Amino acid sequence: MIHTIVGMRGRGKTSLAAEIMASQKRDQIFVYDYMAEFREFQIDGYLEVTLNSVPFEQFSNDVWERSRIGISTLVVLDEIGAYGKIGSQDHPCINHFYTLGRHKDIDLIGISQRFYTLPPTCRSQTDIFHVFQITELRDRQYLKGLVSAQVLETIIRLRQFEYINLNL
């Protein structure tokens, strides 16, 4: 399953990602920790946290080599908007994870502050969006074409740690 968590800074995205990680039985979890917020969750031999000082390509290759059918893998990509695109194109490793990861039992959690900066492959392949408060104009315009005015108003008014689930 592919989850994407989106919302403004400080609303609870990391906490929700941690809840999802803890609630699922996995053989291995890999986190690309862009803002160094997941270090406290590391568990040797089970949950590995890689800081962004390691190139994303290296992280991706390592996860891919260590994953295979029969080993349930969860990959958490924090602040995916910061490295998920190269110019106007999706990063090739993002495409690889999102379109081919299921062939190696890889599920994903992508985390971003903005819908607008999510790589298109991430937006199109996500099974469920967990949406925290969003107020930025471009993100509201994007969502306006996908959800009702009532749902958009709910998203704008969410408080800290409140979110809604959307299947877009």
Q: For residue 141, what pLDDT is reported?
A: 94
CA–CA separation, 8 and 133 (whole Å): 6
**Mean pLDDT of the 66-88 span:** 93
pLDDT digits (tens, 9 = 90+) for 84-114: 888 778 999 999 999 999 999 999 999 999 9
Does the pLDDT value for residue 168 go beyond 90? no
Q: For residue 88, what pLDDT is reported?
A: 78
How many structural domains comprise the chain?
1
Percentage of the chain surpassing pLDDT 90?
93
pTM, two decimals, is 0.95
Q: For residue 110, what pLDDT is reported?
A: 98
User: Tell me, what CATH number does 22's domain have?
Assistant: 3.40.50.300
Mean pLDDT of the chain: 95
The domain of 56 spans 2-166
Question: CA torsion angle for 17, 23, 25, 26 (degrees, to 10)?
Answer: 10
Report CA-CA distances (Å) from 77 to 13, 51, 63, 153, 163. Answer: 12, 11, 12, 28, 19
pLDDT digits (tens, 9 = 90+) for 131-163: 999 999 999 999 999 999 999 999 999 999 999
- Strand order in 28-33's β-sheet? 47-51, 28-33, 73-77, 106-112, 2-6, 128-131, 164-166
